[in-house]
Structure 1
C-alpha cells in the first residue's frame, strides 16, 4: 500500500469519525496500519500530508503507530 493510499484512508477515517472523535480515529488509523507503516519505513508526516488534514495530526498518527505494537483494533 502506498503513502497516497494510506493518506486517502486517513482522510476518510477523519472525515467520517463521529463528532468529537476525530483524534481517536486518527489513533485508530495508526493502530490499524502501524505494522504496514513501520515495515515500509513510511513517516507519519508524509501520510498526513497526503491526507490533506491538518499537519498537527502527525503526532496523533505517531501515537497510534506506537500503540499498534501493543493493541489490536476491534473495528
Structure 2
C-alpha cells in the first residue's frame, strides 16, 4: 500500500470518528497500519501530509505504531 492510500485511510478514520475520539482514531490508525508503514519504511510525516491533517498528528500516528507491539484490535 502506498503513502497516498494510507493518507486517505488516515483522513477517513479521523473524519468518521465519533466526537471526542478523533485522536484515539489516529492512534488506532497507527496500530492498524504499523506493519505496512514499518515494512515499507514510510515516513509518518509524509502519510500525514497526504491525509491533509495537521502535521502535529504525526506524533499521534507514531504513538499508535509504538503501541502496535502491545495491543490487539477488537472487532
TM-score range, shorter chain: over 0.9
Residue of structure 2 in register with 1:3 after alignment: 3
Residue of structure 2 in register with 1:67 after alignment: 67
Q: Distance in 2 between matches of 1:36 and 1:72?
A: 16
Deviation at residue 17 of structure 1 after TM alignment: 0.4
* CA RMSD in angstroms, aligned pairs only: 0.7
Deviation at residue 70 of structure 1 after TM alignment: 1.4
The ranges of structure 1 where at least 4 consecutive aligned residues each deviate by more than 3 angstroms after the TM superposition are none
Deviation at residue 52 of structure 1 after TM alignment: 0.2
**Which consecutive residues of structure 2, in runs of 5 or more, have no partner in the other structure?**
none
2:47 maps to 1:50: no
TM score, norm. by length of structure 2:
0.96
Report if the CA contact (8 A) 1:32-1:72 is conserved.
no
Deviation at residue 47 of structure 1 after TM alignment: 0.4
